[in-house]
Amino acid sequence: MGQRHDQSRSKRFDGTMMKVELIDKMGTDLSVVNAARVSYAKTRESFDDVKDEKLIKYLAEHEHWSPFAHASMQFRIKAPIFVARQLVKHQVGLVWNEVSRRYVDYEPEFYAPEVWRGRPKNSKQGSDGEVNTDGEYYNRYINGCKVYYSLLLNEGVAPEQARMVLPQSMMTEWYWSGTLYAFARVCNLRCKPDTQKETQDVANEIDKLADEAFPYCWMYLRK
């Protein structure tokens, strides 16, 4: 994908193995302004902090999105299936390749929250506050899923069918690549306070990494 981003970083959330890592990127803020200026057969060799920032601001405010599609990022993300299924809904300008339990049958990992959140009183979605519940029941359930999954595999059941006993809290990994503009749309929606916390955590980390990689463009694309 062009220029290698050699300062990849990952982050753990809630004591689990949730991670977001920027694997690669193509382009810079300069790439975006040059894509816009080609309309006038012009180009720059270096970024002008005044003129080019002004142009980026204009492009973002007037929704001239195509120049922002010439820059891209590639992430490797590890999160529970229920988070992945929310994020994969974003399709425009993005591509997704995920670990397949049809092909792998190693022991699965599972998400375990530090706290259990309460159901809000005035909303059909989201969460509010904490609930005192015995997490040991969850641990027993997960251990039971592991045992049954292993039993099915040992009895010769195909991985593509044995996986049906694994719950949504199972961890999965995927590569997620797309344009700068597409990831800005993801973060503009999924970084909001009403987003599920686990999904918001992943989006917030994408937000931070994108801001480091494309500081001027990201400043004006994020709403």
Beta strands 72-80 and 171-179 are antiparallel
In a domain, 34, yes or no: yes
Q: Are residues 91 and 184 in the same domain?
A: yes
Same domain for 177 and 160?
no
Res 12: pLDDT? 53
Residue 4 confidence class, pLDDT cut points 50, 70, 90: very low
Q: Does residue 89 sit in the same domain as residue 35? A: yes
**3-state DSSP assignment of residue 79:** strand
In a domain, 12, yes or no: no
Domain co-membership, 147 together with 205: no
Residue 212 lies in a domain: yes
Helix (H) or strand (E) holding 35: helix 29-37
Phi-psi region of 18 (alpha: psi -120 to 50; beta: other; left: phi over 0): beta
Residues 96, 175 share a domain:
yes
Number of domain units in the chain: 2
**C-beta separation of 100 from 180 below 8 A:** no
Q: What is the pLDDT of residues 164-180, one digit of tens each?
A: 999 999 999 999 999 99
What does the pLDDT look like over 76-91, one tens digit per residue?
999 999 999 999 999 9
Question: Is the distance from CB of 186 to CB of 77 less than 8 angstroms?
Answer: no
pLDDT at 181 over 80: yes
Residue 90 phi, psi dihedral angles, 5° rounding: -80, 110
Question: Tokens standing for 7?
Answer: 């300062």
Q: Is 44 part of the annotated catalytic residue set?
A: no
Domain match, 132 and 180 both: no
Instruction: Establish if 110 belongs to a structural domain.
Output: no
Among the residues of the chain, which ranges form H helices?
29-37, 51-61, 81-87, 135-154, 159-162, 180-190, 197-213, 215-221
In a domain, 4, yes or no: no
Q: Which of 101, 163, 185, 190 is catalytic?
A: 190
Q: Do residue 151 and residue 190 come from a single domain?
A: no
Helix %, strand %, coil % of the chain (to 5): 45, 15, 40
Assess whether 94 and 187 both reside in one domain. yes
Residues 181 and 160 in one domain: no
| CATH of residue 65 | 3.30.1360.170
Are 124 and 204 contained in the same domain?
Answer: no
What is the span of the domain harbouring residue 185? 19-101+171-221
Instruction: Give the model confidence (pLDDT) of 88-119 as tens digits.
Output: 999 999 999 999 999 999 999 999 998 999 98
Quote the Cα angle for 56-58-64, to 5°.
Answer: 85
Let me know if residue 9 belongs to a domain.
no
